[in-house]
Amino acid sequence: MTFESLGLSPELLRAVAEQGYTEPTPIQAQAIPVILAGQDVQAAAQTGTGKTAGFTLPILHRLQPLANTSVSPAKHPIRCLVLTPTRELAAQVETSVKTYGKYLPLRSTVIYGGVNIAPQIKALQGGVEIVVATPGRLLDHVQQRTINLSQVEILVLDEADRMLDMGFIPDIRRIVALLPAQRQNLLFSATFSDDIKKLSGGILRVPVTIEVARRNATADLVRQVVYPVHKDRKRELLTQLIRTLPITQAIVFTRTKHGANRLCGQLERDGINAVAIHSDKTQSHRTKSLSDFKEGQVNILVATDIAARGLDVDQMPYVVNFELPHVPEDYIHRIGRTGRAGTPGNALSLVAPDESRELADIEKLIKSKIEAVRVDGFDSPRAEAAARPPRSAPADRATPRSPRTAHPQPEPDETPVRRTPVDAPRVSASGAHFSRPPVASLGKKTREVPALLGGLVKKAP
Ligand code: AMP
């Protein structure tokens, strides 16, 4: 299939060709015709599938007849509103709108908190057809009457599951109530839980459902590995992996802001070029860190889950879970940062004995065991035990999992204390000598693993 065959305008096809895309990704092939036909869509598509172009291109096509070069703001009412959970994702989506719409006189702007509101007001006053926004700041504009949503024809909820997790649903309902009843609605979500279905049921009308990835599937091209290691030696192992694989570019996830700062400082002391990105950092710092990272001036981005949401870095080769997330779905989001749009990626998880429960929950969610690789000098039997808890463990958990938050979830300053059994019996894991470049795997085990660690790696028992 080609982009031409989807019926997109020559201006859009030109912009797409400039990006070097030769054919639509599956989500694009399925979503674009439906959106062009004006239908509502609910799509289960994780990040990295090309979903942004999947909705941006047909939206631009639909708005193209209304595009004009008039200087009158009245000729540029907001016709499309895209809501995203984070500032970074909002910025990236709006960049995509500008990239794909570069040959069309349609205007767009991005609205998010943490920055001066005045330039946003100015942009809105000048007239824009497409607004990409995070819910909180958008409502600030509503309250200040600096935004008029009465002519919105298309609503997009991007990463709806994240918005749900972050407690944005009441805000979203408030915003939806301000929109004209007659409109097209598009909802994108990495995972497709019953809560998301409930949300979409209240907003979408007779939507076409598109599912390009298995429900809760991990990214297709991501090779996942667990490194059993004691908590106190994680930083040392990470430095070793960065140097020996080598890892030239990676996002390293920590659970807490303090953890991110601490790890970043330690890596820098080890001579590794790293920056931390989390919600305590100013927006300008976050933007600069991200652009330094994208340009290769910084090798390691140490990030919390919230800060990393929506980050799109082309061809990110590695994602490292310095700590496993408490919420297993976050694992899918994290590793979705690598293996994007056809490029193979690696997701490495450093797993300490006290993370056995998290690992079991993740493996249950992805319905597959993650390959364990032991590194000489780091593979204490205790750590190995943690990496392989008994398969029955999740059912009879000793401590209840922290509930999903109903309100915007702040990034924790410190890791909450959780008691988890560490004395689970050892279960053998598959392992292999690394001899070839990374091999894609989803669910099924691959026996060929990359020439990553050289002599460092030995076969797991
Ligand atoms: P997304 O899932 O929207 O975050 O997109 C992930 C990445 O895929 C982005 O870096 C896009 O530039 C890239 N991409 C989108 N569509 C295509 C395509 N048809 N072919 C190749 N890459 C694409």
Q: What's the rounded Cα separation, in Å, for the pair 266 and 318?
A: 19
State the angle between helix axes of 283-294 and 87-100 in degrees (0 to 180), rounded to the nearest 10. Answer: 60
CB 117, CB 147: distance < 8 Å: no
Spell out the per-residue pLDDT of the chain, length 461, in tens: 899 999 999 999 999 999 998 899 989 999 999 999 999 999 988 777 889 999 999 999 999 999 999 999 999 999 999 999 988 899 999 999 999 999 999 999 999 998 999 999 999 999 999 999 999 999 999 999 999 999 999 999 999 988 988 889 999 999 999 999 999 999 998 877 788 888 888 899 999 999 875 434 455 678 899 999 999 999 999 999 999 888 989 999 999 989 999 999 999 999 999 999 877 777 788 788 888 888 888 999 999 887 666 566 666 789 999 999 988 888 888 887 777 656 678 999 999 999 999 999 999 888 889 999 988 888 755 444 454 444 333 322 333 333 333 334 445 554 433 322 222 222 223 222 222 223 222 223 322 233 233 333 333 33
Q: What's the fold here for domain 222-372?
A: Rossmann fold (3.40.50)
| Beta carbon of 336 within 6 Å of any ligand 1 atom | no
* Amino acid, res. 329: E
- pTM to 2 decimals? 0.60
Q: What's the rounded Cα separation, in Å, for the pair 10 and 102?
A: 12
Distances, alpha carbon 60 to alpha carbons 3, 101, 362, in Å:
14, 7, 38
| Beta carbon of 345 within 6 Å of any ligand 1 atom | no
| Residue 432: predicted pLDDT | 25
- Assigned token pair, 433: 């000598």
CATH class of the 4-211 domain in this structure: alpha beta
| Residue 343: predicted pLDDT | 65
Q: What residues have CB less than 8 Å from 151, skipping those under 6 apart? A: 77, 78, 79, 180
Residues forming a β-bridge with 436: 450
Mutate to test the pocket of ligand 1, among 21, 22, 158, 188 (most ligand atoms within 8 A of CB): 21
* Amino acid, res. 69: T
| Beta carbon of 88 within 6 Å of any ligand 1 atom | no
CA of 179 to the centre of ligand 1 (A): 29
Closest CA to 62 of 41, 87, 38: 38
| Beta carbon of 53 within 6 Å of any ligand 1 atom | yes
Q: Cβ atoms within 10 A of the Cβ of 142, count? A: 15
Map out the domains of the chain as residue ranges.
4-211, 222-372
CB 386, CB 356: distance < 8 Å: yes
Closest CA to 84 of 171, 153, 19: 171
| Beta carbon of 223 within 6 Å of any ligand 1 atom | no
CA of 14 to the centre of ligand 1 (A): 16
Q: What's the rounded Cα separation, in Å, for the pair 327 and 325?
A: 5
Q: What's the rounded Cα separation, in Å, for the pair 128 and 373?
A: 52
Cis (ω within 30 of 0) for the bond into 85? no
Q: Where do the DSSP E strands lie in 235-277? A: 250-253, 274-277
Alpha helices in 6-106 (DSSP H): 10-19, 26-36, 51-63, 87-100
CA of 26 to the centre of ligand 1 (A): 11
What are residue 153's phi and psi, to 5 degrees? -105, -25
Q: Do domains 4-211 and 222-372 have the same CATH topology?
A: yes
| Residue 175: predicted pLDDT | 97
Q: What's the rounded Cα separation, in Å, for the pair 456 and 447?
A: 18
Sole residue written with tokens 């016709």:
79
Q: What's the rounded Cα separation, in Å, for the pair 283 and 289?
A: 10
